[in-house]
Amino acid sequence: MKNKIFSKDYSIAKIVCQVLDENKAEAIQLIDISSSTIADYIVIATANSTVHSKALVEKIEEAVQKAGQNIIRRDGMADGRWIVLDYGNLLIHIFTPELREFYHLEKIWNDGKNMLDISAILALPEFANSEADEKK
């Protein structure tokens, strides 16, 4: 498809963003950091509580595993205030509101090529096309 906003495959990131949105995560952001050696993308989201963050992780892991991707590492489940999921080319950070505000990871990655919130992610032409393909 012409004029894709991201240069690297972000199909798993799209799945994660959609799961987060459907399960009431807030302030969801997708950041392209493909110029770094850490990963290609970071997804950052806020959960309402530690219980909510742990439930979000369960939903994400289920959806991503169904898509054929296995998790490499998970950290922060015991506390639940900042959970990190590592899928190799995708890092997912789920924060409680206090820790998200304190660490403000978006500021660290503000030099990312693209930083989109959930409304912009869902409006991407590639996202809309993949949704239509899945319904066929």
Around Cβ 71, how many Cβ atoms within 10 Å? 15
Domains and CATH numbers, the chain: 11-128 (3.30.460.10)
pLDDT at 133 over 50: no
Query: How far is it, in rounded angstroms, from Cα 65 to Cα 86?
Result: 13
pTM recorded for the entire structure: 0.84
Question: pLDDT tens digit string along 68-123?
Answer: 999 999 999 999 999 999 999 999 999 999 999 999 988 887 665 577 888 887 78
First to last CA, the chain: 19
Indicate the helix (H) or strand (E) that contains 59: helix 50-66
pLDDT at 50 over 90: yes
E strands of the chain, at which residues?
A: 26-32, 41-46, 73-75, 82-86, 90-95, 115-117
